[in-house]
Chains A and B, each alone.
Chain A
Amino acid sequence: MGILEIKNVSKNFGGLKALSDVNLSVEENSVHAIIGPNGAGKSTLLNCLVGKLIPDTGSVTFMGQSLLGRKPHEINQMGVSRVFQTPEIFSDLTVFENIMIPCFAHRDGAFQMNALAAVTKQKDIQETAEAILEDVNMLDKRHMHAAAMSRGDKRRLEMAMCLVQEPKLLLLDEPTAGMARADTNNTIDLLKEIKEKRDITMAIIEHDMHVVFSLAERITVLAQGTPLVEETPENIKGHPKVREAYLGEAQV
């Protein structure tokens, strides 16, 4: 029994079958990659996990509890954090505020009416936020506006925002999309470091095979809404079905 169990999940958009009968199990404390060509249903699957979409059939359970019908913030409070394909951060706020918000969410829950408390007096929150900024080497940028940062920094900030909540499951939607090779390698190192330090399960959607093979312990290949293979990285390379799905794409 994995930490995340996806059973017989299907999702149609009009006549389009985005997902059909997907079964997937993510083991606790593992790194599970989901790969597949464009339009394979990777993002749809992810959206079904975080409460953005509700699958037409099937079930999604996280630590034995169903995720279906729960709102995104409820799912997050259960310990599932998501990093988006394009960094979703609070652009109008400073880096430090960006980090403090998830700290508050982690400490106070989904809603807390603390309109007369001063942010500057919340010592525990400030300390946690500073610690995580130090971890991702952004302490010197704490007073910067998040919008003014480079794309790579935004990505790191978003990851830090997810990590500060100490999630049990971290969902990463193409965490290195659009990054230069050096930045990609930094991200890989960062993720490896996180993995070593914490008890955390990661599910990664990724196009870059370099990232996939550097990190993943299990790989699921998705094509046209159905999982083709689930294997270890060693066995995925040169797997005939995978080659077929990618129509001889050179990376595989």
Chain B
Amino acid sequence: MLGLNKKDFQLLLIVAVLALLAPFILNPFPEGSGLAQFNAGYPDLMQRFVIFGIFAIGFNILFGLTGYLSFGHAAFLGVGSYAAIWMMKLVTLNVIPAILMAIVFGGLFALIVGFVSLRRSGIYFSILTLAFAQMSYALAYSVLTPITGGETGLQIKATDSPILSNLADGEIGRANLFGMEMGSSYLMNVGNWLFTFNAGYYIAAIFMLISFYVSIRIFRSPFGMMLRAVKSNQQRMNYTGLNSRPYTLAAFVISGMYAGLAGGLMVAMDTQVGPERMFWTASGEVVLMTILGGVGTLIGPVLGAGMIKYMENIISKINDNILHQWFAFMPDGIEDFLVTIIHPFIGKGWHLTLGIVFMLVVIFLPGGLVEGGQRIAGWFGKGKKADAEATDTDAGTKPAE
């Protein structure tokens, strides 16, 4: 189906179903219950899951297949974002042209950066991309203020009048898809549960599914095989009559376009951009996502992105008061003791938790969460071979956190 083999198509189908049902799946706890804060089914976070999923899928095409570790991918995300917001400020508030422009500019910038950086490999390549990204950040922050809005970034203001959108004087435009606003949601009350179906999320989810589908096609194509050949043995590749440069450059541009798409979607969901989007920590985050999920696997990056964004948003919201509520049934001394112990890992300390999880995964599951899923599937193994082929992902792993 769709040019995929059965296993890949099943995987795509599972991801599609999970993405469409995410408002249910991510909201398992009734409103008002003590566990409700673990619900992730609110639009803002769901949008982030799929957008960073796209970012990581694209990064994985470069890092997972060719082995070139780019440390500056956030730059393409940022460039995409700026392109999208200018499109909205000047041309139309419809998100489609903005997103297309984001993809184009992400790709063009990747072409320039890749053309220079890909002259070197290994650590030198990583440093070159990092340098480009930090340069872009610094430029966006200072010199290019007329284009980027500098420190404050860009927002859609009342003074903006896109030529194709009819706005009343002084009306602040909102991003829409042919009239449907990104922020509009349909709320569904079932018993104590509240499910939110957000237009923006579903548009982002559709883009994520298309991106995921394209990435499967790339993984299974002769082009994808050549990219794995680059990672495996570049010397043999050159002596086999293949020019590795255009292959790596094409992979770099494709992954830049994915990053641009992610940036464009971010703007579509929340119409503002700031230079911090290009900061090196943002580039590092996508590396973490990919490694956490499983480098070179199809579903891994999406899993990793979901995991990190979930922790960032959920664990960071837990505070001491909540802990005291949880442990209230215990004697006072023990309650205080437990809260003191857990305190560094929650709230602003969520990075510590993330760090520990990351270390545990890298040490015990070098193949990332996908390898974990494969091992679990292996224990329950019903006809499922636990062959750890890196590119073969296990169809049974859950694609959403």
A interface residues, Cβ below 8 angstroms from B? 50, 71-73, 76-77, 81-82, 84, 88-93, 97, 100-102, 104-106, 108-120, 122, 125, 161, 165
Knowing A92-B231, A97-B225, A115-B254, say if A110 contacts B217 (CB, 8 Å). no
Instruction: Establish whether residues B242 and A119, one from each chain, have CB atoms under 8 Å apart when the complex forms.
Output: no
Knowing A115-B224, A119-B222, A122-B222, say if A76 contacts B229 (CB, 8 Å). no
| A202 to B220 alpha-carbon distance, docked (Å) | 36
| A6 to B167 alpha-carbon distance, docked (Å) | 76
| A123 to B250 alpha-carbon distance, docked (Å) | 25
Picked from A89, A97, A111, the residue with its CB within 8 Å of the CB of B243 is A111
CB-CB < 8 A to B225: which residues of A? 93, 97, 100-101, 104, 119
Instruction: Establish whether residues A110 and B236, one from each chain, have CB atoms under 8 Å apart when the complex forms.
Output: no
Instruction: Establish whether residues A105 and B221, one from each chain, have CB atoms under 8 Å apart when the complex forms.
Output: no
Instruction: Establish whether residues A101 and B218, one from each chain, have CB atoms under 8 Å apart when the complex forms.
Output: no
Instruction: Establish whether residues B220 and A120, one from each chain, have CB atoms under 8 Å apart when the complex forms.
Output: yes
Instruction: Establish whether residues B233 and A90, one from each chain, have CB atoms under 8 Å apart when the complex forms.
Output: yes
**10 closest pairs, A vs B, by CB?**
A76-B241, A90-B232, A110-B243, A115-B223, A88-B236, A105-B241, A92-B232, A111-B246, A72-B238, A77-B241
Instruction: Establish whether residues A161 and B240, one from each chain, have CB atoms under 8 Å apart when the complex forms.
Output: yes
Knowing A89-B233, A115-B217, say if A110 contacts B242 (CB, 8 Å). yes
Instruction: Establish whether residues A106 and B5, one from each chain, have CB atoms under 8 Å apart when the complex forms.
Output: no
Instruction: Establish whether residues A119 and B220, one from each chain, have CB atoms under 8 Å apart when the complex forms.
Output: yes
Of all chain B residues, the one with the shortest Cβ separation from A105 is: B241
Of all chain B residues, the one with the shortest Cβ separation from A115 is: B223
Instruction: Establish whether residues A73 and B238, one from each chain, have CB atoms under 8 Å apart when the complex forms.
Output: yes
Chain B interface residue count, Cβ-Cβ cutoff 8 angstroms? 32
Having A72-B238, A97-B228, A118-B221, one finds 15 other A-B pairs with CB under 8 Å, namely: A50-B239, A73-B243, A76-B240, A90-B237, A92-B228, A92-B390, A93-B225, A93-B229, A104-B225, A105-B241, A110-B243, A111-B243, A111-B246, A115-B254, A120-B5
Q: Could you tell me the distance in whole angstroms from the C-beta of A43 to the nearest C-beta in chain B?
A: 14
CB-CB < 8 A to B236: which residues of A? 88-90, 161
| A84 to B237 alpha-carbon distance, docked (Å) | 13
Instruction: Establish whether residues B222 and A105, one from each chain, have CB atoms under 8 Å apart when the complex forms.
Output: no
**Chain A to chain B contacts (Cβ below 8 Å), 28 pairs:** A50-B239, A71-B243, A73-B240, A73-B242, A73-B243, A73-B244, A76-B240, A76-B241, A84-B239, A88-B235, A89-B233, A90-B228, A93-B232, A97-B225, A97-B228, A100-B225, A102-B240, A104-B225, A109-B241, A110-B243, A113-B250, A115-B217, A115-B223, A119-B225, A122-B222, A125-B222, A165-B240, A165-B241
Instruction: Establish whether residues B221 and A117, one from each chain, have CB atoms under 8 Å apart when the complex forms.
Output: yes
Instruction: Establish whether residues B239 and A76, one from each chain, have CB atoms under 8 Å apart when the complex forms.
Output: yes
| A48 to B285 alpha-carbon distance, docked (Å) | 44
Knowing A110-B241, A110-B242, say if A118 contacts B220 (CB, 8 Å). yes
Instruction: Establish whether residues B222 and A117, one from each chain, have CB atoms under 8 Å apart when the complex forms.
Output: yes
Q: Could you tell me the distance in whole angstroms from the C-beta of A67 to the nearest C-beta in chain B?
A: 13
CB-CB < 8 A to B207: which residues of A? none
| A148 to B247 alpha-carbon distance, docked (Å) | 27
B51 contacts partner chain A, Cβ-Cβ < 8 Å: no
CB-CB < 8 A to B229: which residues of A? 90, 93, 101
Q: Could you tell me the distance in whole angstroms from the C-beta of A1 to the nearest C-beta in chain B?
A: 25
| A91 to B231 alpha-carbon distance, docked (Å) | 10
| A92 to B224 alpha-carbon distance, docked (Å) | 14
B95 contacts partner chain A, Cβ-Cβ < 8 Å: no
Of all chain A residues, the one with the shortest Cβ separation from B238 is: A72
B269 contacts partner chain A, Cβ-Cβ < 8 Å: no
| A106 to B222 alpha-carbon distance, docked (Å) | 13
| A76 to B235 alpha-carbon distance, docked (Å) | 12
Most buried by A among B226, B239, B244: B239
Knowing A91-B232, A93-B232, say if A114 contacts B222 (CB, 8 Å). yes
Q: Could you tell me the distance in whole angstroms from the C-beta of B367 to the nearest C-beta in chain A?
A: 13
Of all chain A residues, the one with the shortest Cβ separation from B242 is: A105
What 1/0 flags go to B242-269 for Cβ under 8 Å of A?
A: 1110110010001000000000000000
